[in-house]
Amino acid sequence: MPNNISAGDTAWLLASAALVMLMTPALGFFYGGLVRRKNVLATIMHSFFILCLISVQWVLWGYTLAFGPDHGGLIGGLDWLALRGVGQDPGPYAPTVPHEAYMVFQMMFAVITPALITGAFAERKRFKAFVVFTLLWATFVYDPVAHWVWGGGWLGQLGALDFAGGTVVHITSGVSALVAALVLGRRVGYGRDALEPHDATMTVLGASLLWFGWFGFNAGSAINAGGLAANAFVVTNTAAAMAALTWMTVSWLHKGAPSVLGAAAGAVAGLVAITPASGYVDVSASILIGLGAGVFCYTAIQLTKRLKVDDALDVFGVHGVGGAWGALATGIFATVAINSGAKDGLVYGNPGQLGIQAIAVAASIIYSAVMTFVILKLIDVFVGLRVPESEEVLGLDASQHREAAYQI
Amino acid sequence: MEILAFVSFAVLVVAWLVAPSRGSVAVVSHAEAPAKAA
């Protein structure tokens, strides 16, 4: 393959990979502030450990399963096992950057996706079970679905549009979080004790760093340092802001006060929803997508609480519902005026795209739900999913890690 | 779509004007439950 490497594209992609890398520890702080102080270290450790674990899994076999040469539209081959043949020349997905740069950018997506799920089983999952679950989930859920959409698999061939991971990242993690919450059951004291966030400032800081990193997530997905990246950057910021304003407003009208945590959660919901659409929609559409994210995600969380599902940090409401809304909104608002390589959506005269998006949403929901259930049940048999009640009451920092977060 | 974008933002601004405003707070809740999300 001729070497057409662009210094600008490569610099932007590597910088974007670093931005996305920051999102995983940022998620640790976002979640860490929302749990009780006896569980903050364990919660942050979930994200930090996944950063390490999936960094190794991805170079050994994750990347080749997700992006290796296609086998039947379902999975990548083992040609690039341990990154054999993935070097400084461009690969098949990005002609102007080294294949290694593309690989490491994708690695950061593979890292953060299982970390998102950890919010659902916070404060009660055995660390050993979490380790096994993450490794199996990354291999049998994330890698195949990434292949289906981005690696030349059947959803990509069908024409599904997912610029930066609405189906691959957010629907898979959000739905798996709901399944995990149901399989693990509620925390001790749920519905009786106040299971309140121990440090809202930590959560707002985490949300802010997530927002910052998301520019790499979405604008980096253009894979070139050009106009499409600039558009993705602008619509990402706009949708996050609109969703934060909307969530805060809805919760203000509902609960009587403008919640700081609500604004932070709303911003994340907006970032989730714009993710699949960011390379296909204009700024007006991003305002409507942010508006929808604020309303739909907030409502979904009220419903899960009414059903007494202990999705501890509301992962399904934000990522599952926000990701599904974003994927469907892509089928509504996409326009070739923004991305000539894509397709128009419903409002530009192509209703068929919305149907394709619905198929992608349904496929990711069904596959991730079934696989997550099977993985969790197997782990429960061989390892045990939950810590004993006495250890849960003591807190996971002490019982799982023998450390304390604060000495004051 | 531009009109919808302007209208949706205007609706939020109006909502802030009519939303409840409490002059004093007897008990400060640490956080509202539904906002614990990522």
Q: Residues near A16 by Cβ (< 8 Å), separated by ≥ 6?
A: A105, A215, A216, A217, A219, A220, A221
For residue A408, is it within any domain? no
Domain that holds residue A83: 7-397
For residue A406, is it within any domain? no
Query: Does residue B35 register a pLDDT over 60?
Result: no
Residue A292's φ and ψ, nearest 5 degrees, are -60, -40
A253, two tokens = 């009208």
The DSSP symbol for A186 reads P
| Inter-chain CB proximity A298 and B34 less than 8 Å | yes
How far apart CA A355 and CA A351 sit, in angstroms, is 7
| Inter-chain CB proximity B38 and A116 less than 8 Å | yes
Task: Look at residue A407 in the predicted model and tell me its pLDDT.
Answer: 85
For A83, A243, A289, A351, A356, the CA distances from A331, given in Å and listed in that order, are 35, 19, 12, 8, 8
Chain A residues lying within 8 Å of B19, measured CB to CB: 249, 252-253, 258
Phi-psi region of A225 (alpha: psi -120 to 50; beta: other; left: phi over 0): beta
Q: Residues near A130 by Cβ (< 8 Å), separated by ≥ 6?
A: A46, A49, A118, A121
| Inter-chain CB proximity B32 and A313 less than 8 Å | no
Task: Look at residue A2 in the predicted model and tell me its pLDDT.
Answer: 53
For residue A104, is it within any domain? yes
Q: Closest Cα to residue A118, out of A186, A27, A200?
A: A27
| Inter-chain CB proximity A305 and B35 less than 8 Å | no
Per-residue pLDDT of chain A (408 residues; tens, 9 = 90+): 457 999 999 999 999 999 999 999 999 999 999 999 999 999 999 999 999 999 999 999 999 999 999 999 999 999 999 999 999 999 999 999 999 999 999 999 999 999 999 999 999 999 999 999 999 999 999 999 999 999 999 999 999 999 999 999 999 999 999 999 999 999 999 989 889 999 999 999 999 999 999 999 999 999 999 999 999 999 999 999 999 999 999 999 999 999 999 999 999 999 999 999 999 999 999 999 999 999 999 999 999 999 999 999 999 999 999 999 999 999 999 999 999 999 999 999 999 999 999 999 999 999 999 999 999 999 999 999 999 999 999 999 999 999 999 987
| Inter-chain CB proximity B9 and A264 less than 8 Å | no
How far apart CA A330 and CA A368 sit, in angstroms, is 21
Chain A residues lying within 8 Å of B1, measured CB to CB: 282, 284-285, 288, 333, 347
For residue A267, is it within any domain? yes
For residue A205, is it within any domain? yes
| Inter-chain CB proximity B36 and A253 less than 8 Å | no
| Inter-chain CB proximity A251 and B32 less than 8 Å | yes
Q: Please, which residues 3-32 of chain B have a Cβ atom closer than 8 Å to chain A?
A: 4-5, 8-9, 12, 15-16, 19-20, 22, 30-32
Query: Does residue B38 register a pLDDT over 90?
Result: no
For residue A403, is it within any domain? no
- What CATH number does residue A381 fall under? 1.10.3430.10
For residue A242, is it within any domain? yes
Q: Please, which residues 13-72 of chain A have a Cβ atom closer than 8 Å to chain B?
A: 27, 30-31, 34
The pTM score is: 0.94
Task: Look at residue A1 in the predicted model and tell me its pLDDT.
Answer: 46
DSSP, collapsed to helix, strand or coil, labels residue A77 as: coil
Q: Please, which residues 257-296 of chain A have a Cβ atom closer than 8 Å to chain B?
A: 257-259, 261-262, 264-265, 268-269, 282-285, 287-288, 291
For residue A307, is it within any domain? yes
How many structural domains are present in chain A? Answer: 1
For residue A33, give the chain B residue with the closest CA: B36
Chain A residues lying within 8 Å of B38, measured CB to CB: 27, 30-31, 34, 116, 119, 265, 268, 313-315, 318-319
Q: Which of A194, A245, A315 sits opposite B38 (nearest CB)?
A: A315
Sign of torsion over alpha carbons A183, A188, A191, A195? negative
A135, two tokens = 């490794």
Determine the distance in angstroms separating the CA of A203 from the nearest CA of chain B, rounded to an integer. 9
Task: Look at residue A227 in the predicted model and tell me its pLDDT.
Answer: 97
ipTM value of the model?
A: 0.87
How far apart CA A143 and CA A71 sit, in angstroms, is 13
Task: Look at residue B29 in the predicted model and tell me its pLDDT.
Answer: 55
Query: Does residue B36 register a pLDDT over 60?
Result: no
| Inter-chain CB proximity B1 and A197 less than 8 Å | no
